[in-house]
Structures are given as C-alpha cells and as structure tokens.
Amino acid sequence: MNEKLESPDTSSPVLVAGAGGFIGGWLVRSLRDQGFSNIRAVDLKPLSDWYQIFDDVENYVADLQLLENCRNAVQGRRFVFNLAADMGGMGFIEANKALCMLSVLINTHLLEAAREVGVERFFFASSACVYNADKQNVTDVVPLRESDAYPAMPEDGYGWEKLFSERMVRHFDEDFGIVGRIARYHNVYGPHGTWDGGREKAPAALARKVALARLTGDHTIQIWGDGEQTRSFTFIDDAIYGTERLFWSGFSEPLNIGSDEMVSINHMVDILEEIAGIRLTREYQLDAPKGVRGRNSDNTLVQSVLGWKPSQKLSEGLETTYAWISNQLVL
C-alpha cells in the first residue's frame, strides 16, 4: 500500500535546522538541486565549521535550544526539517548522556515556534537508538520493526531524548495540525561528515584508522569491543532520498530509514582492508564503549508505504567514504 507522494512546491520557504551538520548539509544540497530557492539554514557551529555551505542559501548561526532563536528561525517558513542535535558516535553518546538529552529543548522550542507561525509540515530526525535494548542483545539480531520501540527501553540519554521528541511531534500533529514526519535513521555515513575528534561513528572512525595505517606504515588497528557486534549502515544518498520520500508522503508514523545489510565491525574492517589494499593486526579494546550487541533495520514497512529501499551496498559506500577521508588526511 504505497502512500501517494505529493509534488514538492519548490517555491515554498524551507528551514533546515542542523544544516551545518552531516545529514543537514546533504539535505540542503539536495533541496537546492531540486530547485528550492528559499532555504534558510541554521546551525550552532560557526560557519567555518559547517560541513557544507552554499552561498545562495540564508545561512545563520544560532543556538536553537533557545525559544527566541527558534522563533526567528521559523519566521516565514512553510516547511521545517529538524536535524539539529548534540550527538556523535557511541563514545560521545555514552559519555555525554545529559548533553544529548538537552537536545529535547531544540525540538520542543522549534515545535512551539512552528505552532505560533503556522508551519504546515515538520520533519524530525530520530534514531534507531530509540529501540528496546532487550531486542538487541545478540549479534544475530532479529531486524527491528517500528513497533519494537515499545515497551520503551531505548539507549540511555540520547535514545530517550529521541523517543520523547517523537511523541512531541506526534501530539503537535494531533493537537495543533502541524503535519509530522519522523525518520528513524540507522547509522548514516558518507563523505562530508565527522571523521575525527571523538564524535565520529564507526564507518568514519574505521576508515580513518585504516587510511592512517596505510599512510604511516603502522599496520595495526584498534577496535572497540571484540568486533563481533553487528550493525547495518546507511549511505547518505539513500538516507536523503528516503527522507524526502517520507516528507512528501501521507504517512505519519515513524519509519526506519536504514539499510538491512547487517555486518559485524570485524567484517567492516575486512572490507576497508580490501579497499585500502593492506592487512592489519587487530587490537581489541574490550573496555571501550560498544553499544548494543546487535542492531539491524526491518524495512518491510518503509518498502510497503514508500516503495523505498537502499540502493548502495556497504562495500560501495565505504569505498566512497574511505576515499574522501583519505583525502582529508593528506590535505
């Protein structure tokens, strides 16, 4: 039962919150490519730190945890995409639970500001971290369906914030008529993302480590945990395409936007070794943050309602990501 997709009105004024980040930057690029000519991009980071920036877009630096800044951001906007959050990879999430939860202020204040000015449609970037941890304690995990978020026991801190914010979007839709759309992203990766500094996720971190090993000749790699933990990883192009199909659909429930190609961390290192043309000695850090034991996306619902599934194999996406990160290392 495919949901009917609306034809986007490219003259509509759009806000992208978190536009200086990884997914936000690629979303702005995609909207521009489709002909959207009235895009406002907002992020907390200085403009010089935005991953992608475009001269034909209204670019503003503002802390969207503050209601007044949210009011300024949504003025004159018809559509809002909220991808703003204080987050990172597993190391950051486990060490900064309170900071991750403070992102609830961004979504709450953006929704309230959107209600005040009559925003028509609101997108929220949620996460697979909302899923019940009891369903993710083995490596050969059963793929997670959207209904598996309840009974609630999400990732502490970050996952609770995302799950609560999903409910906010739902109830602002029900009570105030702001049409809500919610994507549960599964480990989105690709070029123009965080690749060092402590906030990077596994694909970028491992690509950096492999590239450095090749550059330096030190053919060792540190892996968090025993490397047998499993995940699925979604290439950025697929994530953006799925996001846009969801936004313009008539489907109002949370949807997985993720790959169902599950691999272990060890196998991801195998793929990167093949790409780099080297073999590495693996050193396992068993006391490092490693998250749930296994996680994979069940894409049955999203394929049914949107006709969407990822097109990029992990090996292809990692090759593109590895090449980009390698280039950053030699700049």
Catalytic residues, by residue number, are 158
Q: How far is CA 315 from CA 111, 261, 263, in A?
A: 38, 11, 11
Helix ranges, the chain (H): 22-33, 67-74, 90-95, 97-101, 104-117, 158-176, 202-216, 236-247, 265-276, 300-306, 314-330
Rounded Cα distance between 273 and 276, Å, is 5
Rounded Cα distance between 100 and 88, Å, is 9
Beta bridge partners of 219: none
Backbone torsions φ then ψ of 186, nearest 5 degrees: -110, 95
Dmax (CA) for the chain in angstroms is 60
Rounded Cα distance between 58 and 15, Å, is 9
Give the torsion through C-alpha atoms of 120, 126, 132, 138, to 10 deg.
150
Residues 114/98, Cβ–Cβ less than 8 Å:
no
